Structure 1
């Protein structure tokens, strides 16, 4: 798994961040809105699809814990997944936008490793 501990979502993907904020406002979820500005990209989805732009904002192992309360919010690009009140996974369906997001995150990783 590639780690992106210092990649802040709002800095790397501001348009996506705004989409997430708008969706959470529509859902009246101020508890989740308060998290958005501090979200960090932890790792990319490991499905292997080069057009998948999905990524984790918490350690992936936490998202696999079936004992956590899990909820999701549909967006035009995919899904915001929440685990025990914490935004944990942003699903970006395989598409050209997904490919662009994946590429942008991957390039940021290369810069971080230097």
Structure 2
């Protein structure tokens, strides 16, 4: 499911405050200060759509399905205490957060994407 646009989707810090704080901290530890600032205002725009149980990944900005990000794209792999966190960044903007191995996040993400979000 996808929200209407990048400005009406729920903020990650409201949906999953622990994950939001973890992203900011890990980005700071990696020397990615600009991304850490941007991570504080990430929105949960759409599920990745893969349907895999081990995946809790989500889009934070609009992107045409099935197309590559193109020039200006890079991955930022973070080192969380568990699971995997990899960011797709285009021209300094976090577009997608790949979250693997954190199934406890799925209920809050699903609720946020269906309009029933609340702090968790």
**Same-fold call, TM > 0.5?**
yes
- Partner residue of 1:66? 70
1:29 corresponds to = 32
Give the secondary structure class of the aligned counterpart of 2:115: helix
Determine the C-alpha separation between the residues in 2 that align with 1:68 and 1:28.
19
- Name which structure has the greater RCO, CA cutoff 8 Å, separation 6+: 2
In structure 1, the gaps of 5 or more residues are none
Any gaps of 5 or more consecutive residues in structure 2?
Answer: none
Q: Is the 8 A contact 1:44 1:102 kept in 2?
A: no
Cα offsets for 1:48-75 (capped at 9, x unmatched):
2133100011113287222233132223
Deviations 1:18-66 (A, max 9, x none): 1101111111222112212211011011112133100011113287222
Does structure 1 residue 55 correspond to structure 2 residue 58?
A: yes
Moved more, 67-76 or 12-21: 67-76
Q: Give the alignment's TM-score, normalised by structure 2.
A: 0.77
Correspondence 1:1-114 to 2 at 5 A: 2-4=1-3, 5-61=8-64, 64-76=68-80, 77-78=83-84, 79-93=86-100, 95=101, 97=102, 99-111=103-115
TM-score by length of 1: 0.80
The structure whose residues are more often helix, as a share, is 1
Alignment check: 8 A CA contact 2:24 2:37 kept:
no
Distance 1:89 1:29 in 2: 16
- Is the 2:87–2:97 Cα contact (8 Å) retained in structure 1? yes
Across the aligned residues of Structure 1 and Structure 2, the Cα RMSD in angstroms comes to: 2.2
SS at the partner of 2:37?
helix
